[in-house]
Structure 1
């Protein structure tokens, strides 16, 4: 699915994170990290992944890992019957190996390599998955896709699965921090290029790799960066997290049989970081392991569109619900916005659901009419709805100095002359205003409805919430297929 320019979104996302500036790219005059910072980076990370125990994870980190997993399963089910996945399934099915693992929301079974790829693709199709806002990495796609496929082939306890998921997310986000934003700015899709490390680390942990084998797994992952931003706007975009899942799993399997690599593939002079980025801050990878958790900063999109429109949708939904507004009551909707809003989402008359994702006019109108901003609100049906189309013409966004990318000021003028106002500082879904568990469940149901029966949806959600207590994590995958 096409996406709005990610570099532009970075400013909005980063500003929404308190304290993230401390880990931003250094100014040109700042000295580089010294040689000591680049010593044994790959091995230090490998040792941590091999040794870190579930018992060592703070409860809030375990909880966020569970929420990450629930959100990922929901978006993977939601994308399971999109044309993108239909094409991929048809293309790969004749070449699949043994039917070792299933696909969420579908009945086909594939070998674990292809299953990991296809579930990774499905989870990213709507651009509705989790987001580590500091790097714009979508962490769960590469990691969860790889290890859930593995868990179907060789039983894994839910406790071990959740530990591996958190360690995988931690690995990819820390590596992403080390090269962001320079690596991203030149055109790499960081979800794929960093995600492969997360998939390798998580799969390797479940396979019981030794420290040396984990070093090799990370090295083999470094040899498989995937994803260019030029692919945004095509099926290729969701290919990237899917392929990162497969590549990471591939790396771990090879390393488990002692397929070797360099011991410094992340930090060496001709290694991953120096080859694909002009910024390398290895402290982001090694410092605070086991005490500072990037996995705890994961966020979840409440709306199926670009981040810059989220504050306006949030304001519209709040005012609609609080005042029981109907479209005929609304004379005009004024928005004070940051310049990025019109620059990235200024389509006044979208013709398709996809174009609606790039229209602040549609986003506000559909939120006021339907009280939501999910995938159904960015469909062809919603864009062509005459009531929504008429209300789009009453939305008036104005670029206003002082309004930050994560903010909006909305004023609705009613037909009787009254006005309603709402200012949003941090939209729902941000780190400062995270989605609640109930929000995540509503999102899950909205995505899965029409694909799985209601009872099955509830069963899958219950298993996700209880992942840490399951005897067999593969039960989640088996529960989420079409029968």
Structure 2
């Protein structure tokens, strides 16, 4: 999606309005003359105490207040996150990170899903956050494309291993963390994302700080400081997509948020308006600031209830095309040699994010719409195996990839696609997708989430252990000790 443009007059207006902050306004030495024939712009209102309002809500929110639908989605979020973390636990990315950090780790306070090593909680939060995002198979808040669980769950489960907490308290903290990061993301999306920030990292750190701070029992003032310290640690740029660095971002957001909450618990101070102040987070990293998204409807409108789960292990913008390709393949028993070409109309963001035409690695394949469609037509799936080094270098898939022809159509929304498979016998097979499987409108079922979990854990944990871990995830709210999930999911 192109970066929004503003005209000279709007630019000059925004520059002058930036002089208004949360404290005393800085006045110019001499006011410029008012242009003739133009209405005088209303001064920008000083935003409310956004950071404090949010902190007050987090501190006071109780598990008993969560609607049943929100609890259920929180539980599904836990299940999906644990599955993808186990699935990514033996990828080369995590092997490298474990090897690099092991010599510097502190006490063995927390485990890693799918592995035998134990690390201090700061490094464990980072590593589980990395593992959960490696396959790009994690949960997604579609309004902002934030992957909520990686930063939040990774932080609080590491903390829960060192300081036992009940499953109900854990689930409440998870929901509050997801709510925090998604609301803050709403306030600046899409402008913040368009200029290149990886919003999962930049907003995720707030979720990790809020959730950990909730479990630590921070006071309102301490929570304000925790959010402020989180604001000072934005991490993640979209340039990293297609490399190991992408999964670094939610991992670092998890450890940074944990770090912020721990410091705040000892009264390490910050500004009280780090989200909304003139030189605070929102004004510094975005040209859009809609603070109502953060403060309105707290406790009644839940962004956490809108979380979704991926049936395909790649960027969410490719899912409609994969869905269409799989449907056409299965319905028509297509084989690659019968396909002349594949025509597609896609939203501009698709080619901006996933326009790699010659991926060399599985990680790069996750950002190649041509590979995603080709492999879906050849193999009828879009799981982790379809985005492996093997798949992106398969000669049959490579040959078909060259015949996939995406074109941008501004009339197509991000969640849509128009895909037509043109066969060598002259037939054309069209398919339009309005909402892909895995969306809010067509959510994955509980059974589908379990199948995804078992597929990801295959070859890493024994079948009986997989079933036990899934059972604990489904019963998270009933557990006396949420850390039981972490201990059950490690490799013996």
Under TM normalisation by the shorter chain, which class is it?
Answer: 0.7 to 0.9
Cα deviation for residue 379 of structure 1 reads: 1.2
Residue aligned with 2:256, SS: helix
**Alignment partner of 1:34 is 2:45:** yes
Query: C-alpha separation between the residues in 1 aligned to 2:192 and 2:352?
Result: 23
**Alignment partner of 1:91 is 2:100:** yes
Query: C-alpha separation between the residues in 2 aligned to 1:166 and 1:32?
Result: 37
Structure having the higher Rg: 2
Residue aligned with 1:361, SS: helix
Query: C-alpha separation between the residues in 1 aligned to 2:416 and 2:71?
Result: 30
Q: Which stretch shifts more, 211-220 or 471-480?
A: 211-220
- Of structures 1 and 2, the one scoring higher in RCO (CA 8 A, sep 6+) is 1
**Alignment partner of 1:289 is 2:302:** no
**Alignment partner of 1:71 is 2:64:** no
Residue aligned with 1:43, SS: helix
Aligned to 1:105: 114
Aligned to 1:462: 471
Residue aligned with 1:263, SS: coil
**Alignment partner of 1:336 is 2:344:** yes
Contact 2:346 2:406 (8 Å CA) reproduced: no
Residue aligned with 2:141, SS: coil
Does the C-alpha gap of structure 1 residues 265 and 442 become closer, same or farther in structure 2, counting only changes over 3 Å? same
Contact 1:174 1:285 (8 Å CA) reproduced: yes
Aligned to 2:37: none
Q: Which stretch shifts more, 112-121 or 343-352?
A: 343-352
**1:173-220: CA deviation from partner (whole Å, max 9, x where unpaired):** 111222223333343322222211111111111111222222222222
> Aligned match of 1:161 in 161, 167, 170?
170
Contact 1:332 1:395 (8 Å CA) reproduced: no
**Alignment partner of 1:129 is 2:135:** no
**1:86-121: CA deviation from partner (whole Å, max 9, x where unpaired):** 121112111211111000111100111111111111
Query: C-alpha separation between the residues in 2 aligned to 1:296 and 1:33?
Result: 33
**1:145-192: CA deviation from partner (whole Å, max 9, x where unpaired):** 110001111111111100000000101111122222333334332222
Aligned to 1:380: 389
Aligned to 2:22: none
**1:29-48: CA deviation from partner (whole Å, max 9, x where unpaired):** 9978632xx22222211111
Aligned to 1:184: 193
Residue aligned with 2:213, SS: helix
Query: C-alpha separation between the residues in 2 aligned to 1:137 and 1:196?
Result: 11
Query: C-alpha separation between the residues in 2 aligned to 1:359 and 1:33?
Result: 42
Does the C-alpha gap of structure 1 residues 147 and 433 become closer, same or farther in structure 2, counting only changes over 3 Å? same
Aligned to 2:460: 451
Cα deviation for residue 399 of structure 1 reads: 5.3
CA RMSD of aligned residues (A): 2.7
Query: C-alpha separation between the residues in 2 aligned to 1:460 and 1:8?
Result: 43
Q: Which blocks of at least 5 consecutive residues in structure 1 are unaligned?
A: 1-6, 11-28
Does the C-alpha gap of structure 1 residues 228 and 354 become closer, same or farther in structure 2, counting only changes over 3 Å? closer
**Alignment partner of 1:441 is 2:450:** yes
Contact 1:118 1:242 (8 Å CA) reproduced: yes
Query: C-alpha separation between the residues in 2 aligned to 1:336 and 1:128?
Result: 23
Residue aligned with 2:339, SS: strand
Q: Which stretch shifts more, 136-145 or 159-168?
A: 136-145
Does the C-alpha gap of structure 1 residues 218 and 313 become closer, same or farther in structure 2, counting only changes over 3 Å? same
Aligned to 1:300: 309
Q: Which stretch shifts more, 362-371 or 465-474?
A: 362-371
Does the C-alpha gap of structure 1 residues 280 and 197 become closer, same or farther in structure 2, counting only changes over 3 Å? same
Does the C-alpha gap of structure 1 residues 173 and 314 become closer, same or farther in structure 2, counting only changes over 3 Å? same
Contact 1:106 1:481 (8 Å CA) reproduced: yes
Q: Which stretch shifts more, 412-421 or 351-360?
A: 412-421
**1:64-89: CA deviation from partner (whole Å, max 9, x where unpaired):** 11111111111211211122211211
Does the C-alpha gap of structure 1 residues 308 and 9 become closer, same or farther in structure 2, counting only changes over 3 Å? farther
Query: C-alpha separation between the residues in 2 aligned to 1:401 and 1:294?
Result: 27
Does the C-alpha gap of structure 1 residues 8 and 426 become closer, same or farther in structure 2, counting only changes over 3 Å? farther
Query: C-alpha separation between the residues in 1 aligned to 2:188 and 2:339?
Result: 48
Query: C-alpha separation between the residues in 2 aligned to 1:384 and 1:457?
Result: 31
Does the C-alpha gap of structure 1 residues 77 and 160 become closer, same or farther in structure 2, counting only changes over 3 Å? same
Contact 2:317 2:414 (8 Å CA) reproduced: yes
Contact 2:242 2:364 (8 Å CA) reproduced: no
